[in-house]
């Protein structure tokens, strides 16, 4: 009998009790046998406990390690980026611990630019973060280094969030798996994603077709056009609507060409004046291209059709067709009969076709104009340095300030010292004349600006504070936070130096 | 001057530290006097007031209470109060009784104020306790036998009072070590799948202890000391500190923390570079008190350590640190997982109650096994990490699938990692929770 069998036997007896089940252990060879043999003279319960002690010790002392037969995973490749310095690592840890978390993107971006990576020990928490904040994914992938990629490969959740989700069998995968995989493929291999969708398109329910097609916005390109064009004849109205929207973002699409032809036929341009006739009907072909026949509130039915058509026309078409710059055309529109119609449609078209020149032209006199444009969407299309020039111009007139400052929330590239100075100056002016409510409304702006302002702001921050004493009390708190953010950013800048582009 | 972090470790056991901390409020004291070299006061406990005096160099703690523990809670409390609330003490002359007590402390050592040490009374107190403990051990023997006669099958269904009653009687019998083991049985009974084997293992170990205790005089001195310590006899730290220690280059390999809700315990593991010995330094802290500052993990110091008596003893006190800490760059490791098993066998041979072993393993790779983590050595032998260990991914990130060196506390077939050697530095994996 082995010690293991004997232990099992002892356990059985102990459970029952020696009164019901007296133990009867067989003779064993060796020292353990001798010890057990010597117990026979003892009262049975005592012998039982002694045997437990002896056998347990025997087994513990003689235990052998469990040996794994399968090979360990292939080790991580060598790092190509050097690790960030200790100070930078400590600042990252502070943020991962939940302090100054809104500065994290800046740390990551600087590390990516400086070509350094995070210390290995901090990778799990960083990858967890990428899991919850999709916007950080790309930069996290860069600074996580070779070890990060290797580590993410070991954890399905991280792999799905940071790198590639596991490849799925399209025909048997669950809805979620399919959508994740599709989302990933649209980023990396759009054509393959399209082929997968097409392979089961005819059998999918309308809801599925709609969801899958919506993912085409990522990686959208001319190659998608034939499939999208065919989707304009889909049974589902929602699918048709999405297809038309996607096609209206592809300048070379047949849909854009048809729309351009329709609009140009209605245009009468002479002597720098933009005149047009409105369409008289919304025919079947127009509806197929996504023009919604029902009027929306505030706009006439026919004007509404016209606007929907113009938004599908790439804005560059206008300069080409009419031989005038975007700025000239915007000016012409503002003097003509259809100001709102043109400006709103062009703004939407500029966003759809990501046209920075038109976005800038439309914004150029934005604060003053009567027509409300989607400034937040347009401003992102303008290159950062041109953006700054716009802001600086706008801020010169104090009346614009509240509106401009709100648009500036979307200027999330590093600010120049000039813009920083002008903004603080503008804030100072605002606060000097602000009542308590206005001061209250400005508070969150400063806090957000602190994330992007030039660090020279630290020297100027002191000069801005509200005059109203009740507003001042509230202000001090946000002011302190803002200062804290700037100091923390200054530490990051010192710890991770990058060469200014 | 003294700080709280230095005073708490003077307590012989966690209970004294706790009681001392509770008494360290000015409201419980009268006649508080502080001079440059000594403090004195009268503690208004329930009933008899006790006179307490402390000579600050040393410290020499003197008290008129009948407790056998020295320093007693009153002495600790007076020292703590002096640190916490200096303003409660008046400057000036100590009362005559205090001066009388303190006078010999400048020259010869004085145990208590009652003129000379009452050796006869002390011997009687020790004899009284010996009798009480022996009676407690006898009762526990009968209780264990009864358990085995009737079977342990219904142990999980037993009410708490069944275990707690026995534990309380052992506390009364002044055998706290045995009481702790009985309370542990109660936890094991309700620990779920596999409880039967765990229970039997502990019953065997406890039986071994209660069988050894009555025969302690027949045991070798080391084992006898071990048995007595396991039962709950404490060792005066003052006496220990007076002994010669082991001087070596001691590496601080790792620190673990325990918190039972009242008392927090810090376990610092050290290894002697030339002696090859491991040492365990325990520190206690009550409530929100911080632990006394200690040399950090990953440092090495020239120090003298005194070991508590016992069988292959590890528990030790740092008697004196003779150098500034320098970083640890290399550690001596076991020969794989098999080396750890061999060490355990060797340790159990000299001390069958040893359950935690300090273990340094090199060339191990963290691997994932379902929801669990394992360490795998070069030969494929593996060791599990406890379920409670939450930093498996961090280990894997540091290792990157390459062999690493880890120090930890090994219990049965598990190891709790406490530090890791990375980029030529030993880095702690644990930190004290705030």
pLDDT in tens, A403-420: 888 888 888 888 999 999
On whether any CB of chain A is under 8 Å from the CB of B433, the answer is no
On whether any CB of chain A is under 8 Å from the CB of B118, the answer is no
How many CB atoms sit inside 10 A of residue A174's CB? 9
- Report the percentage of chain A scoring pLDDT > 70: 95
Nearest residue on chain A to B155, alpha-carbon basis = A15
Q: Return the higher-pLDDT residue of A130 and B311.
A: B311
Mean pLDDT, range B108-128, rounded to an integer: 66
- Report the percentage of chain A scoring pLDDT > 90: 36
SS (H, E, C) A419-444: HHHHHHHHHHHHHHCCCHHHHHHHHH
Pairwise CB contact (< 8 Å): A62 & B393: no
What is the C-alpha to C-alpha distance for residues B185 and B203, in angstroms, rounded to an integer? Answer: 8
What is the C-alpha to C-alpha distance for residues A27 and A34, in angstroms, rounded to an integer? Answer: 9
- Least Cα distance to A432 among A471, A479, A400, A459 occurs for A471
Q: Are B253 and B358 in contact (CB under 8 A)?
A: yes
Whether the pLDDT of residue B328 is over 50: the answer is yes
Q: pLDDT grade, residue B109 (50/70/90)?
A: very low
Nearest-neighbour CA in chain A from B196: distance (Å)? 7
**What DSSP string describes A56-72?**
HHHHHHH---EE--SPP
What is the C-alpha to C-alpha distance for residues A427 and A85, in angstroms, rounded to an integer? Answer: 37
Whether the pLDDT of residue A23 is over 70: the answer is yes
pLDDT in tens, B348-400: 999 999 989 999 999 999 999 888 899 999 999 999 999 888 899 999 999 99
Q: Which chain B residues have a beta carbon less than 8 Å from that of A147?
A: 397, 400
Nearest residue on chain A to B374, alpha-carbon basis = A68
Pairwise CB contact (< 8 Å): A120 & B397: yes
Q: Return the higher-pLDDT residue of A477 and A89.
A: A89
Residue B39 corresponds to which tokens in the numbers above? 């403090």
Q: Are A61 and A53 in contact (CB under 8 A)?
A: no
CB neighbour list of residue B312: distance below 8 Å, 6 or more residues apart:
B222, B347, B350, B351, B354
On whether any CB of chain A is under 8 Å from the CB of B363, the answer is no
Q: Which chain B residues have a beta carbon less than 8 Å from that of A122?
A: 397
- Report the percentage of chain B scoring pLDDT > 90: 56
On whether any CB of chain A is under 8 Å from the CB of B209, the answer is no
Whether the pLDDT of residue B119 is over 90: the answer is no
Class of residue B115 by CB neighbours under 10 A (exposed 0-12, middle 13-18, buried 19+)? exposed
What is the C-alpha to C-alpha distance for residues A8 and A1, in angstroms, rounded to an integer? Answer: 11
Q: Return the higher-pLDDT residue of A377 and B303.
A: B303
pLDDT at residue B208, as a whole number: 96
Nearest-neighbour CA in chain B from A226: distance (Å)? 46
**SS3 at position B234:** coil
Q: pLDDT grade, residue B431 (50/70/90)?
A: low
Q: Which chain B residues have a beta carbon less than 8 Å from that of A52?
A: 200-201, 203-204, 207
pLDDT at residue B46, as a whole number: 65
Nearest-neighbour CA in chain B from A152: distance (Å)? 10
Q: Which chain B residues have a beta carbon less than 8 Å from that of A16?
A: 151, 153
Whether the pLDDT of residue B106 is over 60: the answer is no
CA-CA-CA-CA torsion sign (A241, A242, A243, A246) = positive
For an interface test with A, the pick among B214, B397, B429, B433 (most A C-beta atoms closer than 10 Å) comes out as B397
Nearest-neighbour CA in chain B from A65: distance (Å)? 6
pLDDT in tens, A247-305: 999 988 999 999 998 888 888 766 567 778 888 888 888 888 888 888 777 788 888 99
On whether any CB of chain A is under 8 Å from the CB of B357, the answer is no
Residue A15 corresponds to which tokens in the numbers above? 């459970």
Q: Which chain B residues have a beta carbon less than 8 Å from that of A46?
A: 145, 207
Diameter of chain A by CA atoms?
Answer: 124
- Report the percentage of chain B scoring pLDDT > 70: 94
Q: What share of chain B is helix, strand, coil (3-state, %, to 5)?
A: 40, 25, 35
Peptide bond into B360 cis (omega under 30): no
Pairwise CB contact (< 8 Å): A65 & B201: no
Nearest-neighbour CA in chain B from A325: distance (Å)? 56
pLDDT at residue B27, as a whole number: 82
- The complex's ipTM? 0.73
Whether the pLDDT of residue B107 is over 50: the answer is no
What is the C-alpha to C-alpha distance for residues A113 and A118, in angstroms, rounded to an integer? Answer: 13
Pairwise CB contact (< 8 Å): B400 & A74: no
For an interface test with A, the pick among B400, B420, B434 (most A C-beta atoms closer than 10 Å) comes out as B400
pLDDT at residue A1, as a whole number: 65
Nearest-neighbour CA in chain B from A82: distance (Å)? 13
On whether any CB of chain A is under 8 Å from the CB of B352, the answer is yes
Range of lowest pLDDT (A211-215, A289-293, B145-149): A289-293
On whether any CB of chain A is under 8 Å from the CB of B204, the answer is yes
Mean pLDDT, range B275-295, rounded to an integer: 86
pLDDT at residue A366, as a whole number: 58
Q: Which residue has the tokens 């003509």?
A: A336
A75 φψ region: left (φ > 0), alpha (ψ -120 to 50), beta (else): beta
Whether the pLDDT of residue A84 is over 50: the answer is yes
Phi, psi at residue B407, to the nearest 5°?
-110, 140
Q: Return the higher-pLDDT residue of A104 and B96.
A: A104
CB neighbour list of residue A89: distance below 8 Å, 6 or more residues apart:
A83, A118, A119, A122
Range of lowest pLDDT (A42-46, B236-240, B429-433): B429-433
Whether the pLDDT of residue B62 is over 60: the answer is yes
What is the C-alpha to C-alpha distance for residues A54 and B204, in angstroms, rounded to an integer? Answer: 8
What is the C-alpha to C-alpha distance for residues B28 and B80, in angstroms, rounded to an integer? Answer: 13
Pairwise CB contact (< 8 Å): B344 & A65: no
Per-chain mean pLDDT for chain A = 86
Strand stretches in A294-384, DSSP E: none
Q: Which chain B residues have a beta carbon less than 8 Å from that of A49?
A: 144-145, 148, 203-204, 207
What is the C-alpha to C-alpha distance for residues A405 and A394, in angstroms, rounded to an integer? Answer: 10
Mean pLDDT, range B280-307, rounded to an integer: 88
Pairwise CB contact (< 8 Å): A61 & B368: no
Q: pLDDT grade, residue A501 (50/70/90)?
A: very low
Whether the pLDDT of residue B202 is over 70: the answer is yes
Considering only CB atoms, B208 lies closest to which of A43, A53, A73, namely A53
Whether the pLDDT of residue B433 is over 50: the answer is no
Range of lowest pLDDT (A104-113, A167-176, B146-155, B179-188): A167-176
pLDDT at residue B58, as a whole number: 65
What is the C-alpha to C-alpha distance for residues A358 and B210, in angstroms, rounded to an integer? Answer: 91
Q: pLDDT grade, residue A10 (50/70/90)?
A: very high
pLDDT at residue B195, as a whole number: 93
DSSP conformational letter for B334: B
Mean pLDDT, range B199-206, rounded to an integer: 95
Pairwise CB contact (< 8 Å): B344 & A75: no
Q: Are B375 and B366 in contact (CB under 8 A)?
A: yes
On whether any CB of chain A is under 8 Å from the CB of B242, the answer is no
Please give the C-alpha separations between residue B160 and each of B157, B183, B189, B192, B340, in angstroms, as whole numbers. 9, 9, 10, 16, 37
Q: Which residue has the tokens 């400086």?
A: A114
Q: Which residues of A379-415 are buried (b: 16+ CB within 10 A; e: fewer)?
A: bbbbeeeebbbbbeebbeeeebbbebbebbeebeebb
Window 134-173 of B: residues touching A by CB (8 A cutoff) are: 144-146, 148-153
């Amino acid at each position: 009998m082995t010690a293991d069998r004997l232990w099992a036997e002892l356990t059985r007896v102990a459970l029952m009790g020696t009164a019901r089940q007296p133990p009867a252990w067989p003779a064993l060879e060796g020292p353990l046998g001798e010890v057990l043999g010597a117990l026979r003279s003892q009262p049975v319960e005592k012998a039982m406990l002694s045997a437990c002690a002896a056998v347990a010790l025997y087994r513990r002392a003689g235990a052998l390690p469990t040996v794994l037969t399968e090979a360990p995973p292939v080790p991580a490749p060598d790092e190509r980026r050097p690790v960030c310095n200790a100070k930078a690592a400590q600042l990252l840890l502070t943020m991962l611990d939940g302090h100054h978390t809104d500065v994290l993107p800046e740390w990551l971006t600087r590390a990516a630019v400086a070509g350094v990576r995070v210390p290995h020990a901090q990778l799990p928490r960083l990858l967890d973060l990428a899991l919850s904040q999709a916007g950080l994914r790309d930069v996290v992938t860069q600074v996580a280094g070779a070890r990060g990629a290797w580590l993410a490969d070991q954890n399905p959740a991280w792999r799905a969030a940071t790198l590639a989700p596991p490849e799925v069998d399209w025909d048997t995968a669950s809805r979620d798996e399919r959508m994740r995989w599709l989302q990933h493929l649209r980023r990396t291999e759009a054509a393959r994603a399209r082929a997968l969708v097409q392979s089961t398109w005819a059998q999918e329910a309308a809801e599925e077709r709609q969801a899958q097609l919506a993912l085409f916005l990522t990686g959208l390109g001319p190659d998608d056009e034939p499939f999208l064009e065919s989707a304009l004849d889909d049974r589902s109205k929602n699918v048709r609507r999405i297809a038309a929207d996607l096609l209206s973002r592809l300048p070379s699409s047949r849909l854009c060409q048809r729309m351009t032809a329709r609009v140009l036929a209605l245009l009468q341009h002479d002597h720098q004046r933009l005149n047009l006739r409105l369409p008289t009907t919304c025919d079947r072909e127009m509806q197929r291209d996504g023009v919604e026949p029902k009027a929306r509130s505030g706009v006439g039915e026919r004007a509404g059709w016209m606007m929907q058509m113009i938004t599908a026309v790439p804005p560059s078409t206008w300069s080409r067709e009419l031989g005038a710059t975007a700025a000239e055309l915007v000016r012409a529109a503002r003097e003509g009969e259809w100001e709102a119609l043109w400006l709103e449609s062009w703004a939407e078209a500029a966003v759809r076709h990501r046209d920075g020149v038109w976005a800038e032209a439309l914004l150029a006199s934005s604060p003053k104009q009567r027509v409300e444009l989607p400034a937040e969407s347009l401003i992102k299309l303008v290159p950062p340095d041109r953006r700054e020039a716009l802001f600086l111009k706008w801020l010169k007139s104090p009346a614009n300030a509240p509106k401009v400052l709100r648009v500036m929330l979307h200027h999330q590239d590093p600010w120049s010292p000039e813009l920083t100075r002008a903004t603080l100056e503008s804030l100072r002016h605002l606060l000097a004349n602000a009542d308590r409510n206005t001061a209250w409304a400005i508070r969150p702006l400063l806090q957000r600006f602190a994330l992007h302002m030039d660090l020279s702001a630290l020297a100027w921050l002191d000069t801005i504070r509200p005059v109203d004493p009740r507003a001042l009390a509230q202000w001090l708190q946000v002011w302190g936070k803002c200062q804290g953010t700037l100091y923390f950013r200054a530490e990051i800048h010192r710890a991770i130096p990058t060469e200014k582009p | 001057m003294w700080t709280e972090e230095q005073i708490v470790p003077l307590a012989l056991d966690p209970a004294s530290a706790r009681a001392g901390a509770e008494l360290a409020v000015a409201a419980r004291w009268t006649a508080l006097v502080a001079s440059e070299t000594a403090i004195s006061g009268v503690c208004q406990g329930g009933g008899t007031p006790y006179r307490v005096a402390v000579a600050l160099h040393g410290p020499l703690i003197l008290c008129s209470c009948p407790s056998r523990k020295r320093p007693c809670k009153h002495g600790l409390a007076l020292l703590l109060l002096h640190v916490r609330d200096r303003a409660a003490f008046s400057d000036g002359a100590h009362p005559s009784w205090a001066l009388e007590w303190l006078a010999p402390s400048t020259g010869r050592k004085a145990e208590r104020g009652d003129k000379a040490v009452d050796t006869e009374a002390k011997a009687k107190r020790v004899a009284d306790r010996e009798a009480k403990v022996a009676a407690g051990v006898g009762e526990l023997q009968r209780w264990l036998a009864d358990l085995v006669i009737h079977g342990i099958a219904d142990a999980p269904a037993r009410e708490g009072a069944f275990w707690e009653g026995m534990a309380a009687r052992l506390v009364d019998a002044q055998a706290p070590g045995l009481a702790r083991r009985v309370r542990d049985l109660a936890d094991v009974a309700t620990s779920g799948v596999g409880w039967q084997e765990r229970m039997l293992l502990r019953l065997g170990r406890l039986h071994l202890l209660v069988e050894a205790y009555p025969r302690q005089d027949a045991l070798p001195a080391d084992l006898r000391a071990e048995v007595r310590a396991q039962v709950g006899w404490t060792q005066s730290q003052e006496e220990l500190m007076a002994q010669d220690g082991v001087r070596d280059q001691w590496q601080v390999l790792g620190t673990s923390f325990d918190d039972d809700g009242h008392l927090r315990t810090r376990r610092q593991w050290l290894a002697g570079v030339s002696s090859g010995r491991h040492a365990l330094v325990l520190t206690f802290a009550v409530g929100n008190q911080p632990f006394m500052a200690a040399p950090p993990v990953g440092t090495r110091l020239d120090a003298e350590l005194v070991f508590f008596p016992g069988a292959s003893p590890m528990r030790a006190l740092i008697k004196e640190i003779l150098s500034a800490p320098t970083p640890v760059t290399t550690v001596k490791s076991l020969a794989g997982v098999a080396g750890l098993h061999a060490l355990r066998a060797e340790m159990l041979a000299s001390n069958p109650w040893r359950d935690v072993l300090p273990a340094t393993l090199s060339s191990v790779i963290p691997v994932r096994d379902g929801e669990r983590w394992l360490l795998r050595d070069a030969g494929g032998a593996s060791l599990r990490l406890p379920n409670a260990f939450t930093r498996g991914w961090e280990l894997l990130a540091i290792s990157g699938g390459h062999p690493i060196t880890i120090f930890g506390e090994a219990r049965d077939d598990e190891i709790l990692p406490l530090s890791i050697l990375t980029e030529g530095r030993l880095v702690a994996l644990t930190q004290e929770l705030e």
